[in-house]
Amino acid sequence: MLSATLDDLKVLDLSQGLAGPICAKILADFGADVIKVEPPAGDAGRRMGPFFGAAPHPEKSLVFLLANLNKRGVRLNLDDADGRALLRRMAQSADIIVESYRPGYLASLELDYASLATDNPGLIMVSITPFGQTGPYSGHESEEIVTYALSGIMSISGMADREPLKHGGMQAQYEGGLGGVCGALAALQGRDLQCEGQQVDV
């Protein structure tokens, strides 16, 4: 079997929904060993339709399946001390962590980049959130249409005398995932040059 570009990398995917999982999926498609870390109730993407057979089921969400191909999986309760300890151990040998928690949540558990990098200085953490880790909107929640509108693309969509239109699908989510991949690859190049990891804020 031919080797893949990223087959020497280990990735922990803590993200949920679509943008973060798409980022980790692309890394997996290029050969990275990706472990999907889900909360006890499962990834929120498992509840997103459409569903195979049209009946809602956590194992049949086509969105979840699309975003999580080529990954292994585990469920961890990060609100539990044992779950946090296990994640810390997993992070010691990881190259990349992809996460999409609200800013400050992982820091409150001492699982943020600064905490995990003390045991793994080469770690790269890709954080994908609607408004980034800092700034005036960082604490706000968002939906696809809000992120899409704030990007500016809706201002040129639709008819001039009507309200703006959103294109079909979840374009902002896909763009967030692609941005995460580009940031992760740039950070890997930086790690090769400077022998240290970093946090990528998308």
Tell me: the pLDDT tens digits for 8-24?
999 999 999 899 999 99
The total of other beta-carbon atoms located within 10 Å of residue 35's CB is: 18
Of the pLDDT bands very low, low, confident and very high (cuts 50, 70, 90), residue 1 is low
Instruction: For the chain, give the percent of residues with pLDDT over 70.
Output: 99
Q: Angle at Cα 119 formed by Cα 95 and Cα 102, nearest 5°?
A: 70
Tens digits of residue pLDDT in 20-72? 999 999 999 999 999 999 999 999 999 989 999 988 998 999 999 999 999 99
- The residue ranges of every structural domain in the chain are 10-201
Is the distance from CB of 31 to CB of 58 less than 8 angstroms? no
pTM attached to this predicted model? 0.94
Measure the CA–CA gap between 110 and 47, rounded to whole angstroms.
29
CATH entry, 10-201, from 3.40.50.10540, 3.30.300.30, 3.40.50.1360, 3.50.50.60: 3.40.50.10540
Distance CA 170, CA 20 (A): 13
Q: Is 104 left (phi over 0), alpha (psi -120 to 50) or beta?
A: left
For the chain, what's the residue count?
Answer: 202
**Neighbour tally for 80: CB within 10 Å:** 11
